[in-house]
Structure 1
Amino acid sequence: MEKKTMLQDIDAMMEKKKSIPFDPKVNFSLNIILAQVALHFYTDEELSQIEELYQSVFQETKSPFISQNTMKKEKMDNNKKRNCSSDEGSMSCGERRVKPKTIKEKESSQSPKLSIHIMEKITKLNGTNVRYVMCKKLFKTDLNVNNNRLSMPLKKIKCDFLTEIEKNILDTKEEDKPLGLEVIVLDPSFREFTMSLKLWKMPKKSKMHSTCVYNLIKNWRFLVSQNNFKEDQELNIWSFRVNGKLHFLLDD
């Protein structure tokens, strides 16, 4: 049933494509899929538009998206495959089949992939600069409404998601308290919560030096009340920007 629906969507999209100007944001997910498996549906200019939009949104993620130059090369390779002999072609074709799998396995070990429907939602928000921040295991202290904060230890962070100005703000103290940076946090259902990001230095009991932790505070308890989060549950945390403003997405 799903396959039939997708084919109907593709047919409808191709019919519209004949009469209206091409916009890669319309049917964004389908455009990404078709750009990889059915190049003949698009002109070179349209492929460039799809790639440009994709890269602007997901420039920090390891993506299976095929660039326009790779697409053109793939067309030529497909023609070569038809002409190669069975003896000569068996090894090269086998190597070509193995390489994408090896790359994919390597990428998946580095960071998770965002699902297509989440990618599309970020695109509709005009989100850019998507980055994988960390995998957060929820502890009892994170779910305690009296604490009202989500901790993200600095040593667990996978990327540098802050600008230099934002770093200076978080390093600044006012009346011996760290300043906060206003951010938007989206829960797994894409509900938005305005919060404050702060950098706390917490002393260790066993050592003299301190450890740094990012904390999302203010309204965290409201986000928890709207979601059935459990202790030991793991959330993938992503960051992205909308008109320069820092957003976090909690993906379960």
Structure 2
Amino acid sequence: MSRDIQTLQKLLASSSEELKKVSNKPFHPNALDVVVLRYAPHFYNEEEKLQINNFKQGSSVESTSETNSVTGKSNVQEMLEEEEEEERIIPINKRPKKEISSPHLPAKFKNLNLFPEDDIKFVMHKRLFSSDVDPYKNRLSMPKNGIACDFLTKAEVTKLSERDGKNQLVGVEVTVLDPCLREFSVLLKKWDMDTTHTYNLSGHWKNIVSINKFEKDQELKIWTCRVNNRLYFLLVYR
């Protein structure tokens, strides 16, 4: 992820002629172009600017970027920096190994008798960032580099790429079980970025934060399971 930040910094420091040498492929705007256009519009001609602005208007990644205008950061920049910070905090040899299931899910979850034990999957250790507990952003980000297993069905993977009539991501309805076993219905969405992606729990996430009084730097363990083909996320205090 640090390479993405460095690449962006080099692009911002380069000339438009140098940028055009990067690729001879037809221009297809992405989230990185949205960021570069904001700080270095001279890199693009008028037609490319129009394409980028159309992409921005139709992309859920930038749907709340105006709320970040005080800090001057877009959601894309913010998540890139968060992933870079997480890579620094958790050394590779300390990160959770990939596994299909784990015996360490607390007994209170198992005692609900809702979840087939062989279907329980450990997803990730999650250190909460300020954006994860911000009610205005209303999302929990789960970066690809921190996820320990595949937890989606093929149908869900397809659904996460679908958009509605306004070109907004539709998402997949899931259930979150908080550390006190309270149920919340939320939306799981996938945000594609330049070289990676992140999953986000959105919708009613801010209610989960408020009720549980989650704070920045708090650590959670996140698990998944299925009940009647519905995806559940189980949150456990680490």
Alpha-carbon separation, structure 2, partners of 1:126 and 1:212: 28
Alpha-carbon separation, structure 1, partners of 2:201 and 2:211: 16
Alpha-carbon separation, structure 1, partners of 2:216 and 2:232: 24
- The 5 Å alignment of 1:207-222 reads 209-222=194-207
- The 5 Å alignment of 1:24-103 reads 60-63=100-103
1:185 is aligned to 176
Q: 1:132 to 1:187 in 2, by over 3 A?
A: same
Q: How far 1:172 moved relative to its partner? A: 2.1
1:224 is aligned to 209
1:245 is aligned to 230
Gaps of 5+ in 2: 1-98
Corresponding residue to 1:156 among 134, 146, 158: 146
Q: How far 1:230 moved relative to its partner? A: 1.7
Q: How far 1:146 moved relative to its partner? A: 0.5
State the Cα deviation string for residues 145-184 of structure 1 (Å, max 9, x = none): 0011110011211111000011011122334322210000
1:236 is aligned to 221
Q: 1:61 to 1:130 in 2, by over 3 A?
A: same
Corresponding residue to 1:146 among 108, 114, 136: 136
Percent identical pairs in the alignment equals: 42
Structure 1 runs of 4+ with >4 Å offset: none
Q: 1:191 to 1:127 in 2, by over 3 A?
A: farther
Task: Output the TM-score relative to the length of structure 1.
Answer: 0.51
Alpha-carbon separation, structure 2, partners of 1:141 and 1:127: 33
Q: How far 1:127 moved relative to its partner? A: 4.5
More helix by share: 1
Task: Output the TM-score relative to the length of structure 2.
Answer: 0.54
Alpha-carbon separation, structure 2, partners of 1:223 and 1:144: 11
Gaps of 5+ in 1: 1-58, 64-112, 203-208
- The 5 Å alignment of 1:104-115 reads 113-115=104-106
3-state DSSP of counterpart to 1:141: helix
Alpha-carbon separation, structure 2, partners of 1:154 and 1:192: 25
Letter in 2 for 1:60: I
3-state DSSP of counterpart to 1:171: coil
Alpha-carbon separation, structure 2, partners of 1:184 and 1:164: 19
Q: CA RMSD in A?
A: 1.7
1:85 is aligned to none
3-state DSSP of counterpart to 2:137: coil
3-state DSSP of counterpart to 1:161: coil
Alpha-carbon separation, structure 1, partners of 2:222 and 2:182: 15
Q: 1:201 to 1:126 in 2, by over 3 A?
A: closer
